Amino acid sequence: MMSRFLRRYFSRTACPIPTPWKCEEGVPRILGSEVFGELGKIPVEIGEEEITAARFAVDEYNKRQNDGLSYERVVEAERQIVAGYMYYLTMEVKKKEDEELKICKAQVWERPWLKQMQLEVFELKPLNAEAAAKVKP
């Protein structure tokens, strides 16, 4: 039975499951690829894993800062395979006492085999008119 980590890995790469070390064209995927960590970040569709990481980031920030932020939505997500997954998230949040949206950038490191997530970076910025135009649904 394939582990959750491997299922997620193979569902997001071009490599077929029987040949994980070669792409469809037969080119080895070793350095500079998802096998050992992409040299850059990979944009991903916003799915369950990214939303879970975003909610974790907001909850962890609230615990550390004793703040009342609430998660609204993920605007953009990128992922890098390291020792697990590093999620680079841009999301909308707001304080519970007011309705003003803010943009936040967070990095969350997930190690699925340990069932562990760790908040690495959390930057909070007010949502100005220029940024609002870029992130409207």
Which strands, in side-by-side order, build the sheet including 42-43?
42-43, 69-82, 84-95, 101-111, 116-126
- Which residue reads 């890098």 in tokens? 80
- Does one domain contain both 10 and 48? no
Domain residues for the domain of 72 are 40-135
Q: Both 62 and 128 in a single domain? A: yes
Helix (H, G, I), strand (E, B) or coil at 71: strand
Both 111 and 62 in one domain: the answer is yes
Number of structural domains, the chain? 2
pLDDT digits (tens, 9 = 90+) for 59-70: 999 999 888 888
Tell me the pLDDT tens digit for each residue of 17-26. Answer: 444 444 444 4
Nearest to 71 by CA among 26, 108, 36: 108
Model pTM score: 0.64
Q: How high is the pLDDT of residue 57? A: 94
